[in-house]
Structure 1
Amino acid sequence: TAFGHDAVPGRVAMIGAGGVGKAVAFGLIELGCRHLNLFDRDEARAKGLATAVSQAAPDLIVEVASSADDAVEGADGLINCTPLGMVGYAGSAVPESGLTGARWAFDAVYTPVNTEFLLAAKAAGLSIMSGYELFFFQGVDAFHLFTGQDVDQAALRLALKQGEGVSV
Protein backbone atom coordinates (compact mmCIF):
# COMPACT_ATOMS: atom_id res chain seq x y z
CA THR A 1 0.00 0.00 0.00
CA ALA A 2 1.00 3.63 -0.21
CA PHE A 3 1.55 3.67 3.56
CA GLY A 4 3.45 0.39 3.87
CA HIS A 5 6.86 0.11 5.47
CA ASP A 6 8.70 0.10 2.15
CA ALA A 7 6.55 2.68 0.39
CA VAL A 8 8.27 5.66 -1.23
CA PRO A 9 6.37 8.95 -0.94
CA GLY A 10 7.20 10.11 -4.47
CA ARG A 11 6.61 13.75 -5.33
CA VAL A 12 4.75 15.33 -2.40
CA ALA A 13 2.62 18.47 -2.20
CA MET A 14 2.23 19.83 1.32
CA ILE A 15 -0.12 22.65 2.16
CA GLY A 16 0.77 24.38 5.42
CA ALA A 17 4.27 25.13 6.72
CA GLY A 18 3.59 25.80 10.41
CA GLY A 19 4.52 23.55 13.33
CA VAL A 20 2.75 20.45 12.04
CA GLY A 21 4.10 21.10 8.55
CA LYS A 22 7.63 21.30 9.92
CA ALA A 23 7.27 17.96 11.71
CA VAL A 24 5.72 16.32 8.66
CA ALA A 25 8.39 17.72 6.31
CA PHE A 26 11.18 16.26 8.43
CA GLY A 27 9.25 12.99 8.64
CA LEU A 28 9.11 12.95 4.84
CA ILE A 29 12.92 13.15 4.78
CA GLU A 30 13.04 9.99 6.92
CA LEU A 31 10.61 8.29 4.51
CA GLY A 32 12.87 9.00 1.54
CA CYS A 33 10.93 11.84 -0.08
CA ARG A 34 12.92 13.18 -3.03
CA HIS A 35 10.72 16.11 -4.15
CA LEU A 36 8.59 18.37 -1.94
CA ASN A 37 6.35 21.20 -3.10
CA LEU A 38 5.33 23.52 -0.25
CA PHE A 39 2.60 26.10 -0.10
CA ASP A 40 1.60 28.31 2.79
CA ARG A 41 -0.40 31.54 2.69
CA ASP A 42 2.56 33.04 4.56
CA GLU A 43 5.23 32.82 1.88
CA ALA A 44 8.03 33.71 4.31
CA ARG A 45 7.06 30.77 6.53
CA ALA A 46 7.08 28.41 3.52
CA LYS A 47 10.49 29.72 2.42
CA GLY A 48 11.85 29.34 5.95
CA LEU A 49 10.73 25.71 6.10
CA ALA A 50 12.09 25.06 2.60
CA THR A 51 15.49 26.38 3.70
CA ALA A 52 15.53 24.28 6.88
CA VAL A 53 14.51 21.11 5.03
CA SER A 54 17.06 21.74 2.27
CA GLN A 55 19.84 22.15 4.84
CA ALA A 56 18.83 18.88 6.53
CA ALA A 57 18.50 16.97 3.25
CA PRO A 58 20.57 18.57 0.47
CA ASP A 59 19.51 15.93 -2.09
CA LEU A 60 15.81 16.66 -1.56
CA ILE A 61 14.32 19.00 -4.14
CA VAL A 62 12.20 21.53 -2.24
CA GLU A 63 10.11 24.12 -4.04
CA VAL A 64 7.87 26.84 -2.67
CA ALA A 65 4.74 27.10 -4.80
CA SER A 66 2.90 30.35 -5.41
CA SER A 67 -0.49 28.68 -4.86
CA ALA A 68 -2.01 25.45 -3.59
CA ASP A 69 -3.03 24.67 -7.18
CA ASP A 70 0.60 24.97 -8.30
CA ALA A 71 1.82 22.85 -5.37
CA VAL A 72 -0.42 19.87 -6.16
CA GLU A 73 0.33 19.76 -9.88
CA GLY A 74 1.95 16.39 -10.68
CA ALA A 75 2.04 15.26 -7.04
CA ASP A 76 1.96 11.59 -6.00
CA GLY A 77 1.08 12.48 -2.43
CA LEU A 78 -1.06 15.25 -0.97
CA ILE A 79 -0.75 16.49 2.60
CA ASN A 80 -2.85 18.98 4.54
CA CYS A 81 -1.01 20.58 7.48
CA THR A 82 -3.47 23.43 7.96
CA PRO A 83 -6.48 23.62 10.30
CA LEU A 84 -8.87 23.62 7.34
CA GLY A 85 -11.18 20.65 7.65
CA MET A 86 -11.06 20.63 11.45
CA VAL A 87 -14.27 21.05 13.41
CA GLY A 88 -15.09 24.75 13.11
CA TYR A 89 -12.91 25.26 10.02
CA ALA A 90 -14.95 23.97 7.09
CA GLY A 91 -13.42 23.23 3.72
CA SER A 92 -10.19 21.83 2.39
CA ALA A 93 -6.82 23.47 1.82
CA VAL A 94 -5.95 20.90 -0.84
CA PRO A 95 -7.46 21.66 -4.26
CA GLU A 96 -9.47 18.85 -5.82
CA SER A 97 -7.39 19.29 -8.98
CA GLY A 98 -4.59 17.50 -7.12
CA LEU A 99 -6.65 14.34 -6.66
CA THR A 100 -6.24 13.43 -10.32
CA GLY A 101 -3.01 11.50 -10.69
CA ALA A 102 -2.12 11.38 -6.99
CA ARG A 103 -1.68 8.02 -5.24
CA TRP A 104 -2.17 8.94 -1.59
CA ALA A 105 -3.39 11.62 0.80
CA PHE A 106 -2.72 12.46 4.44
CA ASP A 107 -4.61 15.00 6.51
CA ALA A 108 -3.00 16.06 9.80
CA VAL A 109 -6.46 17.07 11.05
CA TYR A 110 -7.92 14.45 13.41
CA THR A 111 -11.26 15.95 14.41
CA PRO A 112 -13.20 14.83 12.50
CA VAL A 113 -11.40 11.64 11.55
CA ASN A 114 -12.86 11.80 8.04
CA THR A 115 -12.36 15.33 6.72
CA GLU A 116 -13.81 16.75 3.53
CA PHE A 117 -10.34 16.40 1.96
CA LEU A 118 -9.97 12.72 2.92
CA LEU A 119 -13.49 11.85 1.80
CA ALA A 120 -12.80 13.43 -1.60
CA ALA A 121 -9.43 11.64 -1.82
CA LYS A 122 -11.01 8.29 -0.95
CA ALA A 123 -13.76 8.84 -3.53
CA ALA A 124 -11.03 9.54 -6.11
CA GLY A 125 -9.39 6.19 -5.32
CA LEU A 126 -6.40 7.45 -3.33
CA SER A 127 -4.97 5.61 -0.33
CA ILE A 128 -5.72 7.79 2.66
CA MET A 129 -4.40 8.28 6.16
CA SER A 130 -6.25 10.34 8.75
CA GLY A 131 -4.66 12.69 11.23
CA TYR A 132 -6.12 10.36 13.83
CA GLU A 133 -2.99 8.23 13.31
CA LEU A 134 -0.80 11.25 14.10
CA PHE A 135 -2.90 11.93 17.20
CA PHE A 136 -2.83 8.26 18.27
CA PHE A 137 0.94 7.85 17.95
CA GLN A 138 1.64 11.18 19.65
CA GLY A 139 -0.23 9.78 22.64
CA VAL A 140 1.52 6.41 22.46
CA ASP A 141 4.95 8.08 22.22
CA ALA A 142 4.17 10.58 25.00
CA PHE A 143 3.01 7.76 27.29
CA HIS A 144 6.30 5.94 26.70
CA LEU A 145 8.38 9.10 27.27
CA PHE A 146 6.61 9.92 30.55
CA THR A 147 6.34 6.39 31.98
CA GLY A 148 9.05 4.37 30.24
CA GLN A 149 6.38 1.76 29.49
CA ASP A 150 4.91 0.64 26.19
CA VAL A 151 1.22 0.73 25.37
CA ASP A 152 -0.74 -2.24 24.07
CA GLN A 153 -1.73 -0.41 20.89
CA ALA A 154 -4.41 -2.92 19.85
CA ALA A 155 -6.09 -2.72 23.26
CA LEU A 156 -5.91 1.08 23.22
CA ARG A 157 -7.49 1.27 19.76
CA LEU A 158 -10.29 -1.05 20.89
CA ALA A 159 -10.91 0.99 24.04
CA LEU A 160 -11.01 4.22 22.06
CA LYS A 161 -13.42 2.76 19.52
CA GLN A 162 -15.73 1.45 22.24
CA GLY A 163 -15.54 4.58 24.37
CA GLU A 164 -16.06 7.22 21.74
CA GLY A 165 -17.63 5.45 18.79
CA VAL A 166 -14.63 6.49 16.69
CA SER A 167 -14.23 4.80 13.33
CA VAL A 168 -10.49 4.27 12.89
Structure 2
Amino acid sequence: MGERAVALCWRPDGAYEQYRSHWGGREAVRSAVLAGTPAERLSVLEAQTWQRAGRQSLATVPNSLDYLVCEVVYLCSPWTVGVALPLWFGLPSAPGTDVSEQAASATCGALVRVTSPDEATRLLQTTRTRKLVASDAVTAGLITEQTAVQTLARSVASRTVGVGRALAAKFRR
Protein backbone atom coordinates (compact mmCIF):
# COMPACT_ATOMS: atom_id res chain seq x y z
CA MET A 1 0.00 0.00 0.00
CA GLY A 2 2.65 2.56 0.96
CA GLU A 3 2.72 5.86 2.78
CA ARG A 4 2.94 8.23 -0.13
CA ALA A 5 4.58 11.62 -0.23
CA VAL A 6 4.89 14.42 -2.74
CA ALA A 7 7.93 16.69 -2.87
CA LEU A 8 7.57 20.03 -4.61
CA CYS A 9 10.95 21.52 -5.45
CA TRP A 10 11.04 25.24 -6.19
CA ARG A 11 12.66 26.41 -9.42
CA PRO A 12 13.97 29.91 -10.15
CA ASP A 13 11.27 30.39 -12.82
CA GLY A 14 8.58 30.02 -10.12
CA ALA A 15 7.44 26.55 -11.17
CA TYR A 16 7.80 23.47 -8.98
CA GLU A 17 9.24 20.12 -9.98
CA GLN A 18 7.00 17.45 -8.53
CA TYR A 19 8.31 14.13 -7.24
CA ARG A 20 6.44 11.22 -5.69
CA SER A 21 7.64 8.65 -3.18
CA HIS A 22 5.88 5.43 -2.25
CA TRP A 23 7.33 5.41 1.29
CA GLY A 24 8.38 9.04 1.86
CA GLY A 25 5.22 9.72 3.85
CA ARG A 26 6.13 7.44 6.76
CA GLU A 27 5.81 9.09 10.14
CA ALA A 28 9.50 8.49 10.86
CA VAL A 29 10.51 10.35 7.69
CA ARG A 30 8.07 13.21 8.31
CA SER A 31 9.22 13.55 11.93
CA ALA A 32 12.91 13.51 10.97
CA VAL A 33 12.30 16.24 8.40
CA LEU A 34 10.34 18.37 10.87
CA ALA A 35 12.91 17.94 13.65
CA GLY A 36 16.00 18.56 11.52
CA THR A 37 18.00 21.59 10.48
CA PRO A 38 17.50 22.72 6.86
CA ALA A 39 20.51 20.65 5.73
CA GLU A 40 19.32 17.60 7.69
CA ARG A 41 15.83 17.94 6.23
CA LEU A 42 17.20 17.74 2.69
CA SER A 43 19.40 14.76 3.60
CA VAL A 44 16.42 12.85 5.01
CA LEU A 45 14.47 13.43 1.79
CA GLU A 46 17.43 12.57 -0.44
CA ALA A 47 17.61 9.16 1.28
CA GLN A 48 14.10 8.31 0.00
CA THR A 49 13.28 6.93 -3.45
CA TRP A 50 11.54 9.52 -5.66
CA GLN A 51 10.04 9.47 -9.14
CA ARG A 52 9.68 12.67 -11.13
CA ALA A 53 6.01 13.48 -11.74
CA GLY A 54 6.20 16.65 -13.81
CA ARG A 55 6.18 20.37 -13.24
CA GLN A 56 3.38 22.59 -11.99
CA SER A 57 2.68 25.80 -10.12
CA LEU A 58 2.13 25.71 -6.38
CA ALA A 59 -1.39 27.08 -6.92
CA THR A 60 -2.45 23.98 -8.89
CA VAL A 61 -1.08 21.38 -6.45
CA PRO A 62 -4.07 21.35 -4.06
CA ASN A 63 -6.42 20.64 -6.99
CA SER A 64 -4.40 17.71 -8.29
CA LEU A 65 -3.52 16.11 -4.96
CA ASP A 66 -5.28 12.92 -3.91
CA TYR A 67 -6.02 13.63 -0.25
CA LEU A 68 -7.01 10.01 0.33
CA VAL A 69 -3.61 8.49 -0.46
CA CYS A 70 -1.02 11.21 0.13
CA GLU A 71 0.35 11.41 3.68
CA VAL A 72 2.59 14.47 3.38
CA VAL A 73 3.73 17.18 0.98
CA TYR A 74 7.28 18.49 1.28
CA LEU A 75 7.81 22.05 0.04
CA CYS A 76 11.48 22.26 -0.92
CA SER A 77 13.52 25.36 -1.67
CA PRO A 78 17.27 25.98 -1.70
CA TRP A 79 16.95 27.31 1.85
CA THR A 80 14.68 24.89 3.67
CA VAL A 81 12.03 22.19 3.51
CA GLY A 82 8.50 22.94 4.66
CA VAL A 83 5.94 20.29 5.52
CA ALA A 84 2.22 20.31 4.79
CA LEU A 85 -0.24 17.59 5.72
CA PRO A 86 -3.07 16.76 3.33
CA LEU A 87 -6.29 16.61 5.35
CA TRP A 88 -9.28 14.93 3.70
CA PHE A 89 -12.63 16.34 4.85
CA GLY A 90 -14.94 13.64 3.55
CA LEU A 91 -16.91 12.24 6.45
CA PRO A 92 -17.06 8.61 7.53
CA SER A 93 -20.55 7.38 6.74
CA ALA A 94 -22.77 5.30 8.95
CA PRO A 95 -23.65 1.85 7.60
CA GLY A 96 -26.43 2.14 5.05
CA THR A 97 -26.02 5.89 4.47
CA ASP A 98 -24.77 7.57 1.34
CA VAL A 99 -21.88 10.01 1.38
CA SER A 100 -22.27 12.60 -1.35
CA GLU A 101 -20.04 12.17 -4.36
CA GLN A 102 -18.46 15.56 -3.73
CA ALA A 103 -17.51 14.84 -0.10
CA ALA A 104 -16.19 11.43 -1.10
CA SER A 105 -14.03 13.11 -3.74
CA ALA A 106 -10.31 12.67 -3.29
CA THR A 107 -9.89 16.46 -3.71
CA CYS A 108 -12.17 17.39 -0.78
CA GLY A 109 -9.31 18.49 1.42
CA ALA A 110 -6.75 21.08 2.37
CA LEU A 111 -2.98 21.22 2.69
CA VAL A 112 -2.07 22.42 6.18
CA ARG A 113 1.43 23.56 7.09
CA VAL A 114 3.04 22.11 10.24
CA THR A 115 6.36 22.97 11.85
CA SER A 116 7.08 20.20 14.36
CA PRO A 117 6.46 16.48 14.87
CA ASP A 118 4.21 17.22 17.87
CA GLU A 119 2.16 19.74 15.90
CA ALA A 120 1.68 17.19 13.11
CA THR A 121 0.49 14.54 15.57
CA ARG A 122 -1.89 16.98 17.31
CA LEU A 123 -3.30 18.18 14.00
CA LEU A 124 -4.01 14.65 12.79
CA GLN A 125 -5.58 13.60 16.10
CA THR A 126 -7.69 16.75 16.38
CA THR A 127 -8.89 16.47 12.79
CA ARG A 128 -9.83 12.81 13.29
CA THR A 129 -11.86 13.70 16.41
CA ARG A 130 -13.56 16.66 14.71
CA LYS A 131 -14.52 14.49 11.74
CA LEU A 132 -16.12 11.88 14.02
CA VAL A 133 -18.11 14.55 15.87
CA ALA A 134 -19.15 16.19 12.58
CA SER A 135 -20.18 12.84 11.14
CA ASP A 136 -22.33 12.10 14.20
CA ALA A 137 -23.95 15.55 13.91
CA VAL A 138 -24.76 14.93 10.23
CA THR A 139 -26.13 11.46 10.98
CA ALA A 140 -28.32 12.92 13.75
CA GLY A 141 -29.64 15.56 11.34
CA LEU A 142 -28.23 18.47 13.37
CA ILE A 143 -26.17 19.91 10.50
CA THR A 144 -25.79 19.30 6.80
CA GLU A 145 -22.81 17.53 5.33
CA GLN A 146 -21.81 20.76 3.58
CA THR A 147 -21.83 22.65 6.88
CA ALA A 148 -19.77 19.92 8.53
CA VAL A 149 -17.13 20.01 5.78
CA GLN A 150 -17.00 23.82 5.81
CA THR A 151 -16.58 23.80 9.59
CA LEU A 152 -13.73 21.30 9.37
CA ALA A 153 -12.00 23.43 6.74
CA ARG A 154 -12.44 26.63 8.73
CA SER A 155 -10.85 24.98 11.77
CA VAL A 156 -7.49 24.89 9.95
CA ALA A 157 -7.91 27.87 7.61
CA SER A 158 -5.19 30.01 9.19
CA ARG A 159 -2.52 27.38 8.35
CA THR A 160 -3.84 26.24 4.98
CA VAL A 161 -1.47 26.23 2.01
CA GLY A 162 -4.31 25.45 -0.43
CA VAL A 163 -7.59 23.59 -0.86
CA GLY A 164 -8.76 20.95 -3.31
CA ARG A 165 -11.40 21.73 -5.93
CA ALA A 166 -14.15 19.67 -4.28
CA LEU A 167 -13.67 21.58 -1.03
CA ALA A 168 -13.54 24.92 -2.85
CA ALA A 169 -16.85 24.05 -4.54
CA LYS A 170 -18.48 23.58 -1.14
CA PHE A 171 -17.64 27.21 -0.27
CA ARG A 172 -19.11 28.54 -3.52
CA ARG A 173 -22.58 27.20 -2.75
Scaled by the length of structure 1, the TM-score of the pair is 0.26
| Greater per-residue strand proportion | 2
TM-score by length of 2: 0.25
- Higher RCO (CA-CA < 8 Å; seq separation 6+): 2
